[in-house]
A and B are shown apart, each in its own frame.
Chain A
């Protein structure tokens, strides 16, 4: 679900570039230097997840995992997704360079929302973390499809038409991502719970750029 070059009007393209640059700057400010290795691994995972294709009738859709990225990285997720998308558009020709801002908004905002959602409701028990993680994984793609519809509406498309198609096409992806996110978060909760503490809800002392 990447937006290609030339689909959006210029004003929206420029506007989304400005907005995503601002959010990325905020994301960089909120990133602590101790988190950089985790950020690198999650960025690589996000980058590669789009290679996992799910066959769907004549076409196929691929995983996106904004929900899992957001749940694990918190505020840094936007930076991670922006970089992942930049490399995807350079190496895989997914989406275009001019649509990079819009794509970053489309997948970065759900990631931030899912990160906040996960940190807020993950609770203490492992079971709750798994359930909330699965919900966050599903929520990420659903939100991304809705933002896609909002962005395409600026290009003259009908919001509900696009939203319906995008959501229907991604039903298998939503299910798979939800399972993958729940499994990953359950594993991390058992093995290394410290990784699930992203810095959304606590103030950052030493911010690094």
Chain B
């Protein structure tokens, strides 16, 4: 009895499994909507890669800007120059005395 029961169960399971792909196929959307989705994805993809490229370009420009010396460096240099020449003038003046 048990063996027959198990056999029936296995049979039902097999039938179910065999029927499954059919039911899945039945659920897939029709051909044209697939194309639509693919087109949509492609569009989004290209838009995203455009955005990404723009951002990368901006990062490169920012990096170039960061490499440029700023107003701080300019004034630091002027300070160094005047300081050094001031020290030189001091030494020269003392030597003259």
Chain A interface residues (CB < 8 Å from chain B): 33, 36-37, 39-40, 43-44, 47-48, 51, 83-84, 87-88, 91-93, 208-209
Contact = CB atoms under 8 A, between A and B. Distances in A.
Give the top 5 A-B pairs by smallest Cβ distance, nearest first.
A40-B85, A33-B92, A92-B69, A91-B73, A36-B89
A44 B69 contact: no
Given A48-B74, A48-B78, A39 B85 contact: yes
Chain B interface main SS type: helix
Interface string B50-79: 000000000000000001010001101110
A88 B81 CA distance: 11
A48 B81 CA distance: 11
Contacts, number: 52
B84 A44 contact: no
A47 B88 contact: no
Contacts of A36: 85, 88-89, 92
Contact of A44 (B82, B88, B89, B92): B82
B69 A51 contact: yes
24 contacts: A33-B89, A33-B92, A33-B93, A33-B96, A37-B85, A39-B85, A40-B81, A40-B82, A40-B84, A43-B81, A44-B77, A44-B82, A47-B74, A47-B77, A48-B74, A48-B77, A83-B81, A83-B84, A84-B81, A87-B77, A91-B77, A92-B73, A92-B77, A208-B96
Interface residues of B, number: 19
Given A87-B80, A93-B69, 4 more contacts: A36-B88, A44-B77, A83-B84, A84-B81
